[in-house]
Chain A
Amino acid sequence: MVRDRAPIVAGTIFALLMVAPFGLGLIGQGYLTGLLMRAMLLAIAALALDLLVGQGGMVSFGHSAFVGLGAYALAIGLQAGIESLLLLTLIALAVSGLFALITGVLALRTSGVYFLMITLAFGQMTYFTLTSLAAYGGDDGLTLWSMATLLGTDVAQNAGQIYFVILVVMVAVWWLMHCISQSRFGRVLRGARDNPERAEVMGFSVFRYRLTAYVIAGMIAGLAGVLTAQQNEFVSPALATWQHSGDLLVILVIGGLGSRNGAILGAFFVVIVQDLLGAVMPEWRLIYGPLLVLVVLFAKGGLNRLLGPAQTGSVA
Protein backbone atom coordinates (compact mmCIF):
# COMPACT_ATOMS: atom_id res chain seq x y z
CA MET A 1 0.00 0.00 0.00
CA VAL A 2 1.27 3.43 -0.89
CA ARG A 3 0.53 5.35 2.19
CA ASP A 4 1.81 7.08 5.24
CA ARG A 5 5.10 8.73 4.57
CA ALA A 6 4.36 10.50 7.84
CA PRO A 7 6.92 8.63 9.99
CA ILE A 8 9.68 9.39 7.46
CA VAL A 9 8.82 13.09 7.34
CA ALA A 10 8.59 13.18 11.12
CA GLY A 11 11.91 11.35 11.50
CA THR A 12 13.59 13.90 9.27
CA ILE A 13 12.14 16.78 11.27
CA PHE A 14 13.26 15.22 14.55
CA ALA A 15 16.77 14.53 13.23
CA LEU A 16 17.11 18.12 12.07
CA LEU A 17 15.94 19.38 15.44
CA MET A 18 18.40 17.04 17.13
CA VAL A 19 21.42 18.56 15.41
CA ALA A 20 20.06 22.12 15.13
CA PRO A 21 21.44 23.45 18.45
CA PHE A 22 24.95 22.31 17.57
CA GLY A 23 24.84 24.00 14.19
CA LEU A 24 23.19 27.12 15.55
CA GLY A 25 25.59 27.22 18.47
CA LEU A 26 28.52 27.16 16.08
CA ILE A 27 27.25 30.18 14.18
CA GLY A 28 26.46 31.91 17.43
CA GLN A 29 22.70 31.98 17.08
CA GLY A 30 21.56 30.97 20.53
CA TYR A 31 18.54 33.14 19.94
CA LEU A 32 17.36 30.75 17.25
CA THR A 33 17.53 27.88 19.70
CA GLY A 34 15.08 29.80 21.84
CA LEU A 35 12.84 30.19 18.85
CA LEU A 36 12.92 26.47 18.17
CA MET A 37 12.04 25.74 21.79
CA ARG A 38 9.07 28.06 21.59
CA ALA A 39 7.91 26.29 18.44
CA MET A 40 8.31 22.86 20.00
CA LEU A 41 6.35 23.87 23.09
CA LEU A 42 3.54 25.13 20.88
CA ALA A 43 3.77 21.95 18.83
CA ILE A 44 3.20 19.80 21.91
CA ALA A 45 0.01 21.68 22.78
CA ALA A 46 -1.07 21.63 19.13
CA LEU A 47 -0.49 17.88 18.85
CA ALA A 48 -2.81 17.45 21.81
CA LEU A 49 -5.42 19.77 20.34
CA ASP A 50 -5.33 17.87 17.06
CA LEU A 51 -6.59 14.80 18.86
CA LEU A 52 -9.75 16.80 19.57
CA VAL A 53 -10.11 18.87 16.41
CA GLY A 54 -8.52 16.69 13.75
CA GLN A 55 -9.41 13.23 15.02
CA GLY A 56 -12.52 13.95 17.04
CA GLY A 57 -14.08 16.85 15.16
CA MET A 58 -14.44 18.74 18.45
CA VAL A 59 -13.32 22.34 17.92
CA SER A 60 -12.11 23.50 21.31
CA PHE A 61 -11.33 27.19 21.69
CA GLY A 62 -10.14 26.88 25.25
CA HIS A 63 -7.13 24.69 24.97
CA SER A 64 -4.64 27.20 26.31
CA ALA A 65 -6.41 27.00 29.66
CA PHE A 66 -4.69 23.66 30.19
CA VAL A 67 -1.32 25.12 29.25
CA GLY A 68 -1.90 27.82 31.85
CA LEU A 69 -2.99 25.32 34.49
CA GLY A 70 0.08 23.16 33.88
CA ALA A 71 2.38 26.15 34.14
CA TYR A 72 0.77 27.39 37.34
CA ALA A 73 0.81 23.92 38.84
CA LEU A 74 4.57 23.95 38.39
CA ALA A 75 4.95 27.48 39.75
CA ILE A 76 2.75 26.94 42.78
CA GLY A 77 4.36 23.58 43.46
CA LEU A 78 7.81 25.17 43.35
CA GLN A 79 6.70 27.85 45.78
CA ALA A 80 5.41 25.16 48.06
CA GLY A 81 8.91 23.68 48.08
CA ILE A 82 8.53 20.74 45.69
CA GLU A 83 11.63 20.56 43.51
CA SER A 84 11.33 17.31 41.59
CA LEU A 85 10.21 17.98 38.04
CA LEU A 86 8.73 14.52 37.77
CA LEU A 87 6.57 15.04 40.85
CA LEU A 88 5.55 18.52 39.67
CA THR A 89 4.67 17.10 36.29
CA LEU A 90 2.49 14.45 37.89
CA ILE A 91 0.70 17.14 39.86
CA ALA A 92 0.22 19.24 36.74
CA LEU A 93 -1.15 16.26 34.82
CA ALA A 94 -3.56 15.53 37.65
CA VAL A 95 -4.74 19.15 37.81
CA SER A 96 -5.22 19.60 34.07
CA GLY A 97 -6.76 16.15 33.73
CA LEU A 98 -9.24 16.84 36.50
CA PHE A 99 -10.16 20.21 35.03
CA ALA A 100 -10.63 18.56 31.63
CA LEU A 101 -12.83 15.91 33.19
CA ILE A 102 -15.12 18.43 34.88
CA THR A 103 -15.38 20.91 32.02
CA GLY A 104 -15.51 18.08 29.47
CA VAL A 105 -18.53 16.46 31.10
CA LEU A 106 -20.34 19.78 30.77
CA ALA A 107 -19.08 20.89 27.35
CA LEU A 108 -19.63 17.49 25.75
CA ARG A 109 -23.32 17.63 26.55
CA THR A 110 -23.31 19.74 23.42
CA SER A 111 -21.41 19.72 20.14
CA GLY A 112 -20.45 21.98 17.27
CA VAL A 113 -20.59 25.70 17.91
CA TYR A 114 -21.99 25.27 21.40
CA PHE A 115 -18.97 23.19 22.27
CA LEU A 116 -16.69 25.84 20.81
CA MET A 117 -18.30 28.66 22.78
CA ILE A 118 -18.39 26.68 26.02
CA THR A 119 -14.73 25.71 25.82
CA LEU A 120 -13.96 29.35 25.05
CA ALA A 121 -15.89 30.39 28.14
CA PHE A 122 -14.18 27.86 30.39
CA GLY A 123 -10.85 28.98 28.99
CA GLN A 124 -11.67 32.58 29.85
CA MET A 125 -12.77 31.51 33.32
CA THR A 126 -9.36 29.92 33.83
CA TYR A 127 -7.63 33.06 32.60
CA PHE A 128 -9.52 35.33 34.99
CA THR A 129 -9.05 32.92 37.84
CA LEU A 130 -5.30 32.96 37.27
CA THR A 131 -5.27 36.76 37.16
CA SER A 132 -7.05 36.87 40.51
CA LEU A 133 -4.40 34.76 42.23
CA ALA A 134 -2.84 37.72 44.01
CA ALA A 135 -0.47 35.49 45.97
CA TYR A 136 1.01 34.23 42.72
CA GLY A 137 1.49 37.50 40.92
CA GLY A 138 -2.04 38.20 39.73
CA ASP A 139 -2.07 39.95 36.37
CA ASP A 140 1.69 40.33 36.27
CA GLY A 141 2.58 36.72 36.62
CA LEU A 142 5.28 35.16 38.70
CA THR A 143 9.01 34.80 38.15
CA LEU A 144 10.35 31.41 39.17
CA TRP A 145 13.39 32.09 41.32
CA SER A 146 14.16 28.44 41.87
CA MET A 147 13.95 25.82 39.17
CA ALA A 148 12.70 22.27 39.27
CA THR A 149 15.30 19.54 38.98
CA LEU A 150 15.11 16.40 36.90
CA LEU A 151 16.28 13.47 39.04
CA GLY A 152 18.37 15.91 41.03
CA THR A 153 20.19 17.32 38.00
CA ASP A 154 19.93 20.61 36.13
CA VAL A 155 19.26 18.87 32.80
CA ALA A 156 15.77 20.31 32.57
CA GLN A 157 16.97 23.86 33.17
CA ASN A 158 18.23 26.53 30.83
CA ALA A 159 21.64 26.08 32.33
CA GLY A 160 21.45 22.46 31.20
CA GLN A 161 19.92 20.77 28.24
CA ILE A 162 16.26 21.74 28.45
CA TYR A 163 16.17 22.00 24.65
CA PHE A 164 16.62 18.25 24.42
CA VAL A 165 14.14 17.58 27.19
CA ILE A 166 11.52 19.50 25.23
CA LEU A 167 12.49 17.72 22.02
CA VAL A 168 12.21 14.31 23.68
CA VAL A 169 8.80 15.17 25.08
CA MET A 170 7.63 16.40 21.69
CA VAL A 171 8.78 13.21 19.99
CA ALA A 172 7.08 11.15 22.69
CA VAL A 173 3.83 13.07 22.29
CA TRP A 174 4.06 12.70 18.52
CA TRP A 175 4.51 8.98 18.96
CA LEU A 176 1.63 8.74 21.42
CA MET A 177 -0.69 10.62 19.08
CA HIS A 178 0.48 8.52 16.17
CA CYS A 179 -0.39 5.36 18.07
CA ILE A 180 -3.73 6.69 19.24
CA SER A 181 -4.76 7.71 15.74
CA GLN A 182 -4.28 4.16 14.49
CA SER A 183 -5.57 2.41 17.59
CA ARG A 184 -9.01 1.11 18.29
CA PHE A 185 -9.68 4.22 20.33
CA GLY A 186 -8.65 6.54 17.52
CA ARG A 187 -10.81 4.67 15.08
CA VAL A 188 -13.87 5.07 17.31
CA LEU A 189 -13.06 8.76 17.74
CA ARG A 190 -12.86 9.30 13.97
CA GLY A 191 -15.98 7.25 13.43
CA ALA A 192 -17.82 9.48 15.88
CA ARG A 193 -16.51 12.54 14.06
CA ASP A 194 -17.81 11.20 10.75
CA ASN A 195 -21.19 10.12 12.00
CA PRO A 196 -21.89 10.16 15.74
CA GLU A 197 -25.34 8.64 15.32
CA ARG A 198 -23.91 5.65 13.49
CA ALA A 199 -21.13 5.17 16.00
CA GLU A 200 -23.73 5.10 18.76
CA VAL A 201 -25.82 2.50 16.91
CA MET A 202 -22.69 0.39 16.45
CA GLY A 203 -22.52 0.22 20.22
CA PHE A 204 -20.07 2.96 21.18
CA SER A 205 -20.86 5.53 23.83
CA VAL A 206 -19.67 8.53 21.84
CA PHE A 207 -19.68 10.67 24.97
CA ARG A 208 -17.20 8.40 26.80
CA TYR A 209 -14.75 8.29 23.94
CA ARG A 210 -14.91 12.02 23.41
CA LEU A 211 -14.50 12.69 27.10
CA THR A 212 -11.48 10.39 27.26
CA ALA A 213 -9.93 12.22 24.30
CA TYR A 214 -10.68 15.55 25.97
CA VAL A 215 -8.94 14.49 29.16
CA ILE A 216 -5.90 13.13 27.31
CA ALA A 217 -5.61 16.33 25.25
CA GLY A 218 -5.99 18.45 28.38
CA MET A 219 -3.27 16.56 30.23
CA ILE A 220 -0.80 16.84 27.36
CA ALA A 221 -1.47 20.56 27.08
CA GLY A 222 -0.82 20.71 30.82
CA LEU A 223 2.50 19.02 30.19
CA ALA A 224 3.29 21.65 27.57
CA GLY A 225 2.50 24.24 30.24
CA VAL A 226 4.94 22.66 32.72
CA LEU A 227 7.74 22.78 30.17
CA THR A 228 6.82 26.30 29.07
CA ALA A 229 7.06 27.55 32.65
CA GLN A 230 10.30 25.69 33.24
CA GLN A 231 11.84 27.09 30.07
CA ASN A 232 10.60 30.69 30.52
CA GLU A 233 11.38 30.64 34.26
CA PHE A 234 8.20 32.68 34.44
CA VAL A 235 4.45 32.09 34.43
CA SER A 236 1.67 34.53 33.71
CA PRO A 237 -2.06 34.35 32.97
CA ALA A 238 -1.17 35.36 29.40
CA LEU A 239 -0.46 31.68 28.77
CA ALA A 240 -4.17 30.99 29.13
CA THR A 241 -5.58 33.79 27.01
CA TRP A 242 -8.06 32.94 24.33
CA GLN A 243 -5.72 34.44 21.71
CA HIS A 244 -3.28 31.72 22.64
CA SER A 245 -6.03 29.13 22.07
CA GLY A 246 -6.69 30.79 18.74
CA ASP A 247 -3.01 30.50 17.84
CA LEU A 248 -3.16 26.76 18.46
CA LEU A 249 -6.11 26.42 16.10
CA VAL A 250 -4.30 28.54 13.51
CA ILE A 251 -1.35 26.16 13.78
CA LEU A 252 -3.56 23.16 13.12
CA VAL A 253 -5.31 24.70 10.15
CA ILE A 254 -2.08 25.95 8.61
CA GLY A 255 -0.40 22.61 9.19
CA GLY A 256 -3.37 20.56 8.07
CA LEU A 257 -5.99 19.02 10.34
CA GLY A 258 -5.65 15.44 11.47
CA SER A 259 -1.93 15.10 10.87
CA ARG A 260 0.74 15.02 13.55
CA ASN A 261 3.39 16.39 11.24
CA GLY A 262 1.04 19.19 10.27
CA ALA A 263 0.76 20.24 13.91
CA ILE A 264 4.55 20.39 14.22
CA LEU A 265 5.15 22.13 10.90
CA GLY A 266 2.32 24.55 11.61
CA ALA A 267 3.86 25.47 14.96
CA PHE A 268 7.23 26.18 13.36
CA PHE A 269 5.61 28.09 10.54
CA VAL A 270 3.58 30.30 12.87
CA VAL A 271 6.48 31.01 15.23
CA ILE A 272 8.84 31.82 12.38
CA VAL A 273 6.34 33.98 10.50
CA GLN A 274 5.47 35.93 13.65
CA ASP A 275 9.13 36.38 14.39
CA LEU A 276 10.10 37.45 10.88
CA LEU A 277 7.20 39.88 10.63
CA GLY A 278 8.07 41.19 14.07
CA ALA A 279 11.63 41.82 12.92
CA VAL A 280 10.39 43.82 9.94
CA MET A 281 7.86 45.98 11.75
CA PRO A 282 6.59 46.25 15.31
CA GLU A 283 3.01 46.38 14.05
CA TRP A 284 3.40 42.93 12.49
CA ARG A 285 -0.14 41.99 13.47
CA LEU A 286 -1.41 44.31 10.75
CA ILE A 287 -0.02 41.78 8.30
CA TYR A 288 -0.52 38.61 10.32
CA GLY A 289 -4.28 39.16 10.77
CA PRO A 290 -5.12 39.58 7.09
CA LEU A 291 -2.74 36.69 6.35
CA LEU A 292 -4.94 34.41 8.45
CA VAL A 293 -8.03 35.57 6.60
CA LEU A 294 -6.35 34.82 3.29
CA VAL A 295 -5.16 31.40 4.43
CA VAL A 296 -8.71 30.49 5.45
CA LEU A 297 -10.23 31.82 2.25
CA PHE A 298 -7.76 30.40 -0.21
CA ALA A 299 -5.43 27.72 1.18
CA LYS A 300 -7.06 24.46 2.17
CA GLY A 301 -5.36 21.31 3.41
CA GLY A 302 -2.38 22.92 5.06
CA LEU A 303 1.37 22.48 4.90
CA ASN A 304 1.25 18.75 5.38
CA ARG A 305 -0.32 18.39 1.93
CA LEU A 306 2.91 19.60 0.40
CA LEU A 307 5.00 16.90 2.04
CA GLY A 308 3.12 13.72 1.38
CA PRO A 309 0.47 12.02 -0.70
CA ALA A 310 -2.97 13.44 -0.04
CA GLN A 311 -3.97 11.99 3.29
CA THR A 312 -7.65 11.54 3.79
CA GLY A 313 -9.36 11.22 7.10
CA SER A 314 -9.28 7.44 6.90
CA VAL A 315 -5.53 7.38 7.08
CA ALA A 316 -5.27 10.21 9.53
Chain B
Amino acid sequence: MNVLEIHNLCKSFGAVRVSRDICLSVAAHQCHALIGPNGAGKTTLIHQISGVLRPDAGQVLLDGHDITAQPIWRRAQAGLGRTFQITSVLPSFSVRENVALAAQAKAGSSMRFFAAASDEAALNRRAEAILARICLEDRADVLAADLSHGERRLLELGIALAGAPKFLLLDEPMAGLGRVESAMLIEILAVLRREIPMLLVEHDMDAIFRLADTVSVLVEGAVVARGTPDQVRADPAARAAYLGEGTVGDPVGGTLGGTA
Protein backbone atom coordinates (compact mmCIF):
# COMPACT_ATOMS: atom_id res chain seq x y z
CA MET B 1 0.00 0.00 0.00
CA ASN B 2 1.18 3.49 -0.79
CA VAL B 3 1.90 5.74 2.14
CA LEU B 4 1.82 8.94 0.11
CA GLU B 5 -0.30 9.36 -2.97
CA ILE B 6 -0.67 12.43 -5.09
CA HIS B 7 -3.43 12.48 -7.66
CA ASN B 8 -3.52 14.93 -10.56
CA LEU B 9 -2.20 17.90 -8.62
CA CYS B 10 -2.54 21.23 -10.44
CA LYS B 11 -1.47 24.68 -9.32
CA SER B 12 -1.10 27.95 -11.19
CA PHE B 13 0.19 31.35 -10.19
CA GLY B 14 -1.62 33.64 -12.58
CA ALA B 15 -0.80 32.34 -16.06
CA VAL B 16 2.15 30.26 -14.88
CA ARG B 17 1.31 26.61 -14.37
CA VAL B 18 3.72 25.46 -11.70
CA SER B 19 2.18 22.03 -11.16
CA ARG B 20 0.73 20.24 -14.18
CA ASP B 21 -1.34 17.23 -13.37
CA ILE B 22 1.27 15.67 -11.12
CA CYS B 23 0.73 12.09 -9.99
CA LEU B 24 3.12 10.43 -7.61
CA SER B 25 3.06 7.64 -5.07
CA VAL B 26 5.51 6.31 -2.56
CA ALA B 27 5.10 2.83 -1.06
CA ALA B 28 6.21 1.66 2.36
CA HIS B 29 10.00 1.26 2.73
CA GLN B 30 10.59 3.27 -0.40
CA CYS B 31 12.62 6.38 -1.00
CA HIS B 32 11.40 8.35 -3.95
CA ALA B 33 13.58 11.16 -5.24
CA LEU B 34 12.34 14.24 -7.01
CA ILE B 35 14.82 15.97 -9.28
CA GLY B 36 14.59 18.74 -11.80
CA PRO B 37 16.24 21.97 -12.80
CA ASN B 38 15.76 25.10 -10.70
CA GLY B 39 12.31 26.55 -11.24
CA ALA B 40 10.82 23.18 -12.19
CA GLY B 41 8.27 23.49 -9.38
CA LYS B 42 9.82 21.14 -6.82
CA THR B 43 9.42 23.49 -3.89
CA THR B 44 5.87 24.38 -4.93
CA LEU B 45 5.05 20.70 -4.95
CA ILE B 46 6.57 20.24 -1.49
CA HIS B 47 4.52 23.21 -0.27
CA GLN B 48 1.34 21.63 -1.56
CA ILE B 49 2.10 18.33 0.12
CA SER B 50 2.98 19.93 3.44
CA GLY B 51 0.07 22.36 3.37
CA VAL B 52 1.76 25.72 2.87
CA LEU B 53 -0.04 26.05 -0.46
CA ARG B 54 -3.44 24.77 -1.44
CA PRO B 55 -3.55 23.05 -4.87
CA ASP B 56 -6.05 24.29 -7.45
CA ALA B 57 -7.07 20.72 -8.21
CA GLY B 58 -6.05 17.21 -7.27
CA GLN B 59 -5.60 15.29 -4.05
CA VAL B 60 -2.92 14.46 -1.52
CA LEU B 61 -3.42 11.22 0.41
CA LEU B 62 -1.42 10.20 3.45
CA ASP B 63 -1.89 6.60 4.50
CA GLY B 64 -5.09 6.51 2.48
CA HIS B 65 -6.58 9.60 4.11
CA ASP B 66 -7.27 12.71 2.09
CA ILE B 67 -5.25 15.55 3.63
CA THR B 68 -5.59 18.00 0.73
CA ALA B 69 -7.65 20.51 2.69
CA GLN B 70 -6.04 20.10 6.08
CA PRO B 71 -3.96 22.81 7.77
CA ILE B 72 -0.24 22.26 8.21
CA TRP B 73 -0.37 21.21 11.82
CA ARG B 74 -3.06 18.58 11.19
CA ARG B 75 -0.94 16.99 8.47
CA ALA B 76 1.94 16.89 10.90
CA GLN B 77 -0.32 15.27 13.48
CA ALA B 78 -1.39 12.77 10.85
CA GLY B 79 2.24 11.71 10.43
CA LEU B 80 3.77 13.95 7.80
CA GLY B 81 7.26 15.04 8.80
CA ARG B 82 9.28 17.52 6.83
CA THR B 83 12.58 19.32 6.71
CA PHE B 84 13.09 22.74 5.18
CA GLN B 85 15.45 23.71 2.42
CA ILE B 86 16.45 26.73 4.49
CA THR B 87 17.20 25.53 7.99
CA SER B 88 14.28 26.13 10.33
CA VAL B 89 14.94 25.35 13.97
CA LEU B 90 14.09 27.10 17.24
CA PRO B 91 17.17 29.25 17.85
CA SER B 92 16.62 30.08 21.52
CA PHE B 93 15.96 26.43 22.45
CA SER B 94 18.67 23.94 23.28
CA VAL B 95 19.19 21.07 20.85
CA ARG B 96 17.48 18.68 23.24
CA GLU B 97 14.55 21.02 23.73
CA ASN B 98 14.10 21.42 19.97
CA VAL B 99 13.69 17.69 19.60
CA ALA B 100 11.70 17.25 22.82
CA LEU B 101 9.16 19.86 21.69
CA ALA B 102 8.71 18.02 18.41
CA ALA B 103 8.24 14.77 20.33
CA GLN B 104 5.72 16.51 22.58
CA ALA B 105 3.48 17.14 19.59
CA LYS B 106 2.88 13.42 19.30
CA ALA B 107 2.79 12.56 22.98
CA GLY B 108 -0.65 13.55 24.17
CA SER B 109 -2.10 17.00 24.71
CA SER B 110 0.19 19.97 25.10
CA MET B 111 -2.52 21.99 26.82
CA ARG B 112 -0.82 21.17 30.12
CA PHE B 113 0.00 24.13 32.27
CA PHE B 114 1.59 22.90 35.47
CA ALA B 115 4.08 20.04 35.32
CA ALA B 116 7.53 21.01 34.04
CA ALA B 117 7.99 19.67 30.52
CA SER B 118 11.74 19.31 30.96
CA ASP B 119 11.09 16.76 33.75
CA GLU B 120 9.07 14.46 31.51
CA ALA B 121 11.23 11.38 31.30
CA ALA B 122 9.44 9.94 28.30
CA LEU B 123 10.00 13.08 26.22
CA ASN B 124 13.63 13.31 27.28
CA ARG B 125 14.29 9.65 26.49
CA ARG B 126 12.76 10.11 23.09
CA ALA B 127 14.89 13.19 22.50
CA GLU B 128 18.06 11.41 23.56
CA ALA B 129 17.30 8.50 21.25
CA ILE B 130 16.78 10.84 18.32
CA LEU B 131 19.94 12.80 19.10
CA ALA B 132 21.91 9.56 19.13
CA ARG B 133 20.58 8.72 15.69
CA ILE B 134 21.63 12.04 14.23
CA CYS B 135 24.97 12.04 16.08
CA LEU B 136 24.21 15.18 18.08
CA GLU B 137 24.07 13.65 21.57
CA ASP B 138 27.19 15.57 22.59
CA ARG B 139 25.57 18.85 21.66
CA ALA B 140 22.28 18.32 23.51
CA ASP B 141 22.60 21.33 25.81
CA VAL B 142 23.88 23.77 23.21
CA LEU B 143 21.51 26.44 21.96
CA ALA B 144 20.42 25.78 18.40
CA ALA B 145 21.54 29.30 17.52
CA ASP B 146 25.10 28.33 18.43
CA LEU B 147 25.29 25.24 16.19
CA SER B 148 27.31 25.09 12.99
CA HIS B 149 25.42 24.98 9.71
CA GLY B 150 26.02 21.25 9.33
CA GLU B 151 24.82 20.54 12.85
CA ARG B 152 21.72 22.58 12.26
CA ARG B 153 20.93 20.53 9.15
CA LEU B 154 21.14 17.41 11.31
CA LEU B 155 18.92 18.97 13.97
CA GLU B 156 16.46 19.85 11.23
CA LEU B 157 16.20 16.13 10.46
CA GLY B 158 16.06 15.28 14.17
CA ILE B 159 13.05 17.55 14.69
CA ALA B 160 11.26 15.86 11.81
CA LEU B 161 12.06 12.40 13.21
CA ALA B 162 10.96 13.26 16.73
CA GLY B 163 7.36 13.51 15.56
CA ALA B 164 7.48 9.79 14.71
CA PRO B 165 6.42 10.48 11.13
CA LYS B 166 4.79 7.95 8.85
CA PHE B 167 6.28 9.78 5.94
CA LEU B 168 9.18 12.16 5.50
CA LEU B 169 9.40 15.06 3.13
CA LEU B 170 13.04 16.07 2.76
CA ASP B 171 13.63 19.34 0.94
CA GLU B 172 17.27 19.40 -0.12
CA PRO B 173 18.68 18.03 3.13
CA MET B 174 22.23 18.29 1.79
CA ALA B 175 21.94 21.98 0.94
CA GLY B 176 25.09 23.84 1.92
CA LEU B 177 26.84 20.81 3.43
CA GLY B 178 30.48 19.96 2.82
CA ARG B 179 31.60 16.54 1.54
CA VAL B 180 32.19 14.97 4.93
CA GLU B 181 28.93 16.26 6.36
CA SER B 182 27.02 15.15 3.28
CA ALA B 183 28.48 11.68 3.51
CA MET B 184 27.47 11.46 7.16
CA LEU B 185 23.92 12.61 6.47
CA ILE B 186 23.64 10.12 3.61
CA GLU B 187 24.65 7.32 5.98
CA ILE B 188 21.96 8.39 8.44
CA LEU B 189 19.32 8.58 5.71
CA ALA B 190 20.41 5.25 4.24
CA VAL B 191 19.39 3.56 7.49
CA LEU B 192 16.24 5.63 7.85
CA ARG B 193 14.84 4.94 4.41
CA ARG B 194 14.18 1.31 5.31
CA GLU B 195 12.03 2.46 8.23
CA ILE B 196 10.24 5.53 7.00
CA PRO B 197 9.16 6.08 3.41
CA MET B 198 10.38 9.40 2.09
CA LEU B 199 10.21 11.88 -0.72
CA LEU B 200 13.64 13.35 -1.29
CA VAL B 201 14.21 16.54 -3.22
CA GLU B 202 17.90 16.80 -3.91
CA HIS B 203 20.48 18.14 -6.32
CA ASP B 204 23.26 15.96 -4.97
CA MET B 205 23.43 12.99 -7.36
CA ASP B 206 25.60 10.99 -4.95
CA ALA B 207 22.74 11.10 -2.54
CA ILE B 208 20.15 10.21 -5.18
CA PHE B 209 21.99 7.15 -6.40
CA ARG B 210 22.74 6.02 -2.92
CA LEU B 211 19.30 6.53 -1.42
CA ALA B 212 16.57 6.58 -4.03
CA ASP B 213 14.62 3.50 -5.09
CA THR B 214 12.78 5.47 -7.73
CA VAL B 215 13.17 8.90 -9.24
CA SER B 216 10.76 11.37 -10.84
CA VAL B 217 12.05 14.11 -13.08
CA LEU B 218 10.08 17.33 -12.87
CA VAL B 219 10.36 19.84 -15.68
CA GLU B 220 8.22 22.96 -15.94
CA GLY B 221 5.73 21.59 -13.46
CA ALA B 222 5.23 18.22 -15.12
CA VAL B 223 6.75 14.79 -14.49
CA VAL B 224 8.66 13.95 -17.69
CA ALA B 225 10.33 10.72 -16.63
CA ARG B 226 10.12 8.17 -13.87
CA GLY B 227 11.91 4.96 -12.90
CA THR B 228 14.91 3.63 -11.06
CA PRO B 229 17.89 5.97 -10.97
CA ASP B 230 19.53 3.95 -13.76
CA GLN B 231 16.40 3.93 -15.90
CA VAL B 232 16.01 7.67 -15.49
CA ARG B 233 19.58 8.26 -16.40
CA ALA B 234 19.00 6.34 -19.61
CA ASP B 235 15.67 7.98 -20.35
CA PRO B 236 15.90 10.25 -23.42
CA ALA B 237 13.26 12.68 -22.17
CA ALA B 238 15.01 13.09 -18.86
CA ARG B 239 18.37 13.47 -20.52
CA ALA B 240 17.02 16.09 -22.87
CA ALA B 241 15.35 18.09 -20.22
CA TYR B 242 17.76 17.76 -17.41
CA LEU B 243 20.58 15.28 -17.51
CA GLY B 244 21.25 16.31 -21.09
CA GLU B 245 22.84 19.43 -19.85
CA GLY B 246 25.97 17.35 -19.86
CA THR B 247 26.99 17.37 -16.27
CA VAL B 248 26.67 13.66 -15.71
CA GLY B 249 29.41 11.62 -17.25
CA ASP B 250 30.51 8.89 -14.92
CA PRO B 251 27.92 6.35 -13.86
CA VAL B 252 27.93 6.70 -10.08
CA GLY B 253 29.25 10.10 -9.23
CA GLY B 254 28.85 13.59 -10.51
CA THR B 255 26.63 16.43 -9.53
CA LEU B 256 23.76 18.14 -11.23
CA GLY B 257 23.56 21.85 -10.80
CA GLY B 258 23.96 21.47 -7.08
CA THR B 259 26.66 21.26 -4.48
CA ALA B 260 30.17 20.29 -5.42
Cβ–Cβ contact B116 & A194, under 8 A: no
For the complex formed, measure the closest distance between the CB of B61 and the CB atoms of chain A, giving whole angstroms: 19
Kindly state the separation between the CA atoms of A209 and B105 in the bound complex, as whole angstroms: 12
Instruction: Provide the A181-200 mask, 1 if CB < 8 A to any CB of B, else 0.
Output: 01111111011001101111
Binds A, one of B15-23, B92-100, B126-134: B92-100
B142 to nearest A CB, angstroms? 10
Assess the A201–B116 pair: CB atoms within 8 A: no
Is the pair B97, A314 in contact by a Cβ cutoff of 8 Å?
yes
- Residue among B94, B100, B117 with the most chain A CB within 10 A? B117
Does residue B163 face the partner (Cβ distance < 8 Å to A)? Answer: yes
Interface residue from B88, B92, B105 paired with A204 (Cβ < 8 Å): B105
State whether the Cβ of B102 lies closer than 8 Å to any Cβ in chain A: yes
A206 and B105 CA atoms in complex are apart in Å by 12
- A179 nearest in chain B by CB position: B114
Q: When the two chains form their complex, are residues A179 and B163 in contact, meaning their CB atoms are under 8 A apart?
A: no
A190→B100 CA distance, assembly (Å): 13
Cβ of A282 within 8 Å of any chain B Cβ, yes or no, is no
B105 touches which of A176, A182, A183, A202 (Cβ 8 Å): A202
Taking CB atoms, residues of chain B closer than 8 Å to A152 are none
| A28 interface residue (CB < 8 Å to B) | no
- A185 close to B111 (CB less than 8 A): yes
User: CA of A261 to CA of B74 in the docked complex: distance in angstroms?
Assistant: 37
B104:A187 contact, CB within 8 angstroms: yes
CB-defined contacts of B110 to chain A, threshold 8 Å:
184-185, 187-188, 204, 209
For the residues of A in contact with B, the DSSP-based class is helix
Number of B interface residues at 8 Å Cβ cutoff, please give it.
37
B101 touches A202 (CB 8 A): yes
Q: Which residue of A lies closest to B162 (CB)?
A: A202
The reply on A180 being an interface residue by CB < 8 A is yes
Q: Is the pair B113, A183 in contact by a Cβ cutoff of 8 Å?
A: yes
Interface string of B75-110 (1 = CB under 8 A from A): 011000010100011111110010011101110011
Contact of A201 among B82, B109, B112 (CB under 8 A): B82
From B71, B102, B143, A202 is in contact (CB under 8 Å) with B102
Whether A187 lies near B50 (C-beta < 8 A) is: no
Q: Which of A76-106 contact B (CB under 8 A)?
A: none
- Whether, in the assembled complex, A33 has its beta carbon less than 8 Å from a beta carbon of chain B, the answer is no
Residues of A196-226 at the interface with B, using a CB-CB cut-off of 8 Å, are 197-206, 209, 212
Q: Judging by beta carbons under 8 Å apart, are A183 and B92 in contact?
A: no
The answer to the question of A312 belonging to the interface, with a C-beta cut-off of 8 Å to chain B, is yes
Complex CA gap A201/B52 in Å reads 10
B159 an interface residue at 8 Å Cβ cutoff? yes
Closest chain A CB from B4 CB (angstroms): 16
Taking the closest CB of chain A, its distance from the CB of B88, in whole angstroms, is 5
Additional A-B contact list (6), CB under 8 Å, known A190-B93, A313-B93: A179-B113, A182-B116, A183-B113, A198-B89, A203-B76, A203-B106
A-B contacts, 24 listed (Cβ < 8 Å): A180-B114, A182-B117, A183-B112, A183-B114, A184-B104, A184-B117, A185-B112, A188-B110, A190-B92, A194-B90, A194-B92, A194-B93, A198-B84, A198-B89, A203-B73, A203-B74, A203-B76, A203-B105, A203-B106, A204-B110, A205-B71, A205-B74, A206-B73, A313-B92
